[in-house]
Amino acid sequence: MSGDFWLSCGHHLLDRDPGGGLRLTDEFLKAYLARPELAPPAGACAAERALHAALLARPRQAVPRAQIAAIADADGRENWEVMLAFREQLMRHPTLEAAYLDIVRRNRKFPHLFLNQMVQVILRNILDGSDDAFLLRAAELYFRPQKMTLHGGALISADEETISGLGQRPLSPLVSMLGLPSAAEIDVLSDENAQGYWQRSDVFDLALDLSAGRRGLDALAEVTRRWI
């Protein structure tokens, strides 16, 4: 079984060039403008609200430095400076893949959140059409921080953010093993539950066994081969 996955990365908002690379679109930029860090808070000044509205209408338009300087809140100014620098990086290159390579080769500094999102959407393109849940789950290690735990001779990888957002009372041996709170619904990916990966892919609630000789480690090696 296969299907769409990682819908939250916005791959459906991007175009493709003749070689299959990801081309930036206004819709993709607007998705960044919708982030909580950039949405004007309740007490935002008129300058920040005007900038946000203008970019939602025309996300590629030039923004003079004076327009940023006019924002009253210092954190707001910093957020916009970072966002606009990232926007320029994406706009400067023909594809997202080229923009990412430039960041790596020139050691350009952007928030890890933005870089992880780039990696996710690039991998989404690379792995498009895959029917291997182990391959897709292994790919999450490239853009989602993991908590690694040894248990019974097995090396288990679970999504760190999913773990940190869960409640108080352990519900299963795996939850107890990883020190997860009660709201946790974490399963180890297996042949029995692999067909459910596509429905759960944006929840990041499946752990992966990375022990030697197991499918998870082989899948990670294959992801690495395709990424390179």
Sign of the Cα pseudo-torsion (123, 23, 200, 143, in order): positive
More confident residue, 168 or 44: 44
Q: Quick check: 114 and 86 in contact, CB under 8 A?
A: yes
The closest of 147, 156, 153 to 217, measured between CA atoms, is: 156
| Rounded Cα gap, residues 72 and 48, in angstroms | 8
| Rounded Cα gap, residues 213 and 196, in angstroms | 23
| DSSP-assigned beta bridge partners for residue 209 | 156
Q: Which of 150-154, 157-161, 181-185 reaches the highest mean pLDDT?
A: 157-161
The mean per-residue pLDDT over the stretch 70-78 comes to 94
What residues does each domain of the chain span?
7-126, 133-227
| Whole-number percent of the chain with pLDDT over 70 | 90
Burial of 76 (0-12, 13-18, 19+ CB in 10 A): buried
Structure tokens at 157: 């990888």
pLDDT tens-digit map of 104-123: 999 999 999 999 999 999 99
| pLDDT classification of 167: cutoffs 50, 70, 90 | very low
More confident residue, 173 or 35: 35
Structure tokens at 23: 């081309």
User: Cα angle vertex 125, ends 123, 126, to 5°?
Assistant: 60
